């Protein structure tokens, strides 16, 4: 059975920050599941691309999950108002799963209180938020600290996905 990668969505996700990892992780052999606050609901990207959730954040079995991906856009700000989405990220982190967030995605990591003392990056508009949450902000295309991978903008997607896949291989001995 392929190991699962969870791709979190809510309305107004940054389209390419969901689409690119979705296909990149599938290409790498992972079972990518779209996860939203509700199961079976269609969520629309900032530019209109639709993605329908396979699962809701409240019915995740973490055992076969290797990574959680949080795209940016306006979705992370919406996701952090759903306790089940916040708890999923916190549980993934606590169970040593890879948690990867790009652009505004680290807003959900802030809400889950998992970046305190960690080196992180994100879109420049949330740099102060990351610092205020106890993270050490680094303006770099991809930053890895333990099991957390963060990136800044859509142009960073190749490095973001490559580094996340490499980290999965290290942590899960693939």
CA distance 171 to 113: 22
User: Is the confidence at residue 1, as pLDDT, over 90?
Assistant: no
User: Is the confidence at residue 173, as pLDDT, over 90?
Assistant: no
CA distance 62 to 79: 19
State pLDDT tens for residues 116-165: 999 999 999 999 999 999 999 999 999 999 999 999 999 999 999 999 99
Q: What is the mean pLDDT of residues 107-118?
A: 98
CA distance 76 to 104: 6
Rounded to 10°, the helix 15-27/157-171 angle is 40
What pairs with residue 70 in β-bridges? Answer: 101
Catalytic site includes residue 104: yes
State pLDDT tens for residues 48-105: 999 999 999 998 999 999 999 999 999 999 999 999 999 999 999 999 999 999 999 9
Where does the pLDDT of residue 2 fall: very low under 50, low under 70, confident under 90, or very high at 90 and above? confident
Q: What is the mean pLDDT of residues 5-29?
A: 98
Domain that holds residue 66: 4-171
What is the dihedral angle through the alpha carbons of 119, 121, 125, 130, rounded to the nearest 10 degrees? -30
- 8 A C-beta contact, residue 149 and residue 167: yes
Catalytic site includes residue 161: no
What is the tally of structural domains in the chain?
Answer: 1
Out of 82, 96, 104, 161, the active site residue is 104
Q: What is the mean pLDDT of residues 30-43?
A: 98
> pTM for the complete prediction?
0.97
> What pLDDT, on a 0 to 100 scale, did the predictor assign at position 95?
97
For the domain that residue 131 is a member of, what is the CATH number? Answer: 3.40.50.880
DSSP-derived pairing of the beta strands 65-70 and 136-137: unpaired
- Helix H, strand E, coil C: the string for the chain is CCCEEEEECCCCECHHHHHHHHHHHHHCCCEEEEEECCCCCEEEECCCCEEECCEEHHHCCHHHEEEEEECCECHHHHHCCCHHHHHHHHHHHHCCCEEEEECCCHHHHHHCCCCCCCEECCCHHHHHHHHHCCCEECCCCEEEECCEEEECCHHHHHHHHHHHHHHHHHHCCC
């Amino acid at each position: 059975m392929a190991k699962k990668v969870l791709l979190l969505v809510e309305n107004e996700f940054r389209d390419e920050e969901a689409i690119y990892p979705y296909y990149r992780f599938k290409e790498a052999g992972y079972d990518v599941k779209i996860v939203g606050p509700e199961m079976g609901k269609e969520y629309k990207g900032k530019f209109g691309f639709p993605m329908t959730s396979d699962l809701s954040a409240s019915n995740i079995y973490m055992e076969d999950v290797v990574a959680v991906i949080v795209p940016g856009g306006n979705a992370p700000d919406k996701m952090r108002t759903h306790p089940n989405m916040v708890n999923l990220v916190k549980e993934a982190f606590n169970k040593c799963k890879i948690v990867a967030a790009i652009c505004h995605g680290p807003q959900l990591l802030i809400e889950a209180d998992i970046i305190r003392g960690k080196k992180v990056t994100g879109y420049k508009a949330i740099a102060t938020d990351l610092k205020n949450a106890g993270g050490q902000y680094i303006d770099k295309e991809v930053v890895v600290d333990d099991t957390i991978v963060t990136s800044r903008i859509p142009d960073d997607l190749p490095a973001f996905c490559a580094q996340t896949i490499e980290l999965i291989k290290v942590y899960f001995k693939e």
